[in-house]
Amino acid sequence: MRLNKFLAKSGIASRRKSDELIKMATTTVNEEIILDPAYNVKEKDFVRFDGKLLRVDEEKIVIILNKPKNVITSVSDQFGRKTVMNFLKSKKRLVPIGRLDKDSTGLLLLTNDGDLHQYLTHPKNQIPRQYIVVIEKIIDSSKLQRITRGLSIGEGEMGRAKVISQKMIKGRCEARLELRQGKKREVRRIFRSVKIKLFSLHRVSFGNINIGSLKIGESRLLTENEIKNLKNKN
């Protein structure tokens, strides 16, 4: 098995992220540092990541969390800030699928299934994610066209979203958006580019999984059926 796949199947990260981690000299095989993600791991090899012995966990799970505000989407934080892991009871080594920034709330998936993580985060698979945002005003037709068509959001990247609905509530606009690219802070960067102030961002769905009645800070295991449906991106 390739070393990057071994890390992914051990719940460390996706295969793409595992490539980066391996090249950072974090991984040893039989006490020797290996920098090649394609290194062939044999059945009797001892693989360690950051000094911890790894085992491939055959029991794959996915947890859905309704992420609170002011919580970091990370396995750990060097500054001692609260992370999403503080809200989970599982003892398995889980990795967030994508990210929600500290100020955002809503649906976050975590898993120890590296292959599923790879599938759901790879840009070519265009997995839809829906968000409810509260902004200062209705998005006018010219800005709607720019957002739908795609616009520069800085750092040489293009942002794009489908605006499903928008309505005024107590002097502010509540809009529902769908994105398929998963770029870092894409929603916030889109509204910054069209000069519309964004007050809150809440993710309500990822693929075919919806937040439902899950309360802020609550989590639960996805069923086998729900996990299977995650690969049906439409």
Is residue 233 pLDDT above 70, yes or no? no
Q: Do domains 62-123+209-229 and 128-206 have the same CATH topology?
A: no
One of 101, 103, 113, 115 is an active-site residue; which one?
A: 101
**Which uninterrupted H or E stretch holds 145?**
helix 141-149
Architecture, CATH, for domain 62-123+209-229: 2-Layer Sandwich (3.30)
pLDDT digits (tens, 9 = 90+) for 142-195: 999 999 999 999 999 999 999 999 999 999 999 999 999 888 999 999 999 999
Active site residue 101: yes
Q: Select 3-53's CATH number: 3.10.290.10, 2.160.10.10, 3.50.50.60, 3.30.70.2700.
A: 3.10.290.10
Is residue 92 pLDDT above 90, yes or no? no
pLDDT digits (tens, 9 = 90+) for 1-29: 999 989 988 888 878 889 999 999 999 99
The Cα-based distances of 70 to 73, 82, 103, 232 in angstroms read 10, 8, 5, 32
Gap between the Cα atoms of 194 and 5, Å rounded: 41
Q: Which CATH class is domain 128-206?
A: alpha beta
**Domains of the chain: which residue ranges?**
3-53, 62-123+209-229, 128-206
Q: Is 170 left (phi over 0), alpha (psi -120 to 50) or beta?
A: left
